[in-house]
Amino acid sequence: MVEIVQATEVFPLVTVDNGNRQQLVQRHDFSFPRRIRTVAPGTKKLREFVIIDLRVHGVVGLSLNDKSVMPIVPGSHLAAMTYAVDENGVALILDHASSQR
């Protein structure tokens, strides 16, 4: 026997009136930002935030690894490029950590 399941709204957006919808949207971040090059790697001369090996300038033991370190907007799918950056970033961070021991 097949049981009929009714859909239930788990996040109130459809059933909320316009006045409350505005407040709801302001309270919650619905955006999925695609920020690129906000902390692109570089040298201190260029006033960049992270060094080529993803270490943060002026902070000992802190590395940054996400899509914000991409120096340019990729011509490929952003998620695929983000995975590639993450995988390479992890390798850089692990290499740096092992060389510090």
Is 4 a member of any domain? no
Is 54 a member of any domain? yes
pLDDT value at residue 46: 58
Structural domain tally of the chain? 1
Is 29 a member of any domain? no
User: What Å distances lie between residue 49 and 19, 97, 98, CA to CA?
Assistant: 41, 19, 23
- What's the pLDDT tens digit per position in 53-98? 888 877 888 888 888 888 777 788 888 888 888 899 899 889 888 8
Is 23 a member of any domain? no
**Mean pLDDT calculated for residue range 23-37:** 63
d(CA 60, CA 81): 28
Structural domain containing residue 72: 35-100
Is 61 a member of any domain? yes
Is 68 a member of any domain? yes
Is 45 a member of any domain? yes
Query: What's 55's DSSP letter?
Result: B
Most confident of 19-28, 40-49, 65-74, 91-100: 91-100
Is 25 a member of any domain? no
pLDDT value at residue 66: 82
Determine the 3-state secondary structure of 8 from DSSP: coil
